[in-house]
Amino acid sequence: MDRSHSSPFGSDPHDPKDANGRETANWEAAGYRIPILYEDNHVLVVVKPPGLLSQGDDTGRPNLLDILKERRKVRERKPGRAYLALLHRLDRQVGGVLAFAKTSKAAARLFAAIRQRRWEKGYLAVVVGLPQPEKGTLRHALRKIPGKPRVRLVDPEDPAGKEAVLTYETLKYADGLSLLHVRLVTGRPHQIRVQLATLGTPIWGDHVYGRRTDRKREKAPDEIPIGLWAAYLSFAHPTTGEPLEFVALPPREAPWTHFPRLRDVVESFVRHP
């Protein structure tokens, strides 16, 4: 993949751009500002704000997929329902780069690329404590807990277990917290959260798999952002085969403010994802 591009950030490093430094637009709906990183007739790539569902659930709360379908319907003056396929998802408390397909043909090709593990996804994670070892590969089997929005570790021989593999590397340590670069090999629900917790270093703010914090519980627990951010995504364009790369920085708020120079960290993802 050609990585001979300029810096992926402009004058404000917290304004998300694609990995070639192209400016983003924004779409505002349901009280959320949604940066648009890239869009053509086949693909749409955005930055999901923390606190917003990736897709609808039985609560009827606002979700990114429906918001972007309505955006497409309005912008393209489409009668009836507008097609848009969510290619992967982020937990409600997690923000970062998220991709959609705008045609069924593009969706089929991109889903195939995901199954063949031809996508590259890099995450930033802030965990409580210092992982031991400080870098490595985690392999587990995960199983959804019936009737609950969470998963658990199971024996690898469990027929209902799904293989979960990731790599992690500790980048910085400050104030009792570690900043990790996490790469997903598989993409299971809650995978990063539960696997990092097995090291005794749960993700900051994760009340499900980790420790409760002293933050005020003025919102429902799944509305409060946690220390996990989808910072990097790359894949081949479904029609042209062109390599596409996208990066975005987390917001300037806890826990990310414990680690200055995040711009340099994320730029390194582009060079060495």
Q: How many helices and strands (H and E) does the chain possess?
A: 4, 13
Rounded Cα gap, residues 179 and 227, in angstroms = 9
Three-state DSSP at 192 gives helix
- Return all residues near 247 (Cβ < 8 A) that are at least 6 apart: 8, 9, 16, 17, 18, 19, 97, 231, 232, 266, 267, 269, 270
Identify the DSSP state of 63: B
Tokens of 20: 């070639």
Residues marked active site are found at 91
Rounded Cα gap, residues 131 and 230, in angstroms = 20
Tokens of 260: 């200055």
Pick from 36, 1, 47, 8: nearest CA to 262: 8
Give the residue ranges of DSSP H helices in 95-217. Answer: 104-115, 191-197
Three-state DSSP at 52 gives coil
Tokens of 177: 């917290």
Strand partners, 97: 47
Q: Are strands 228-236 and 95-101 parallel, antiparallel or unpaired?
A: parallel
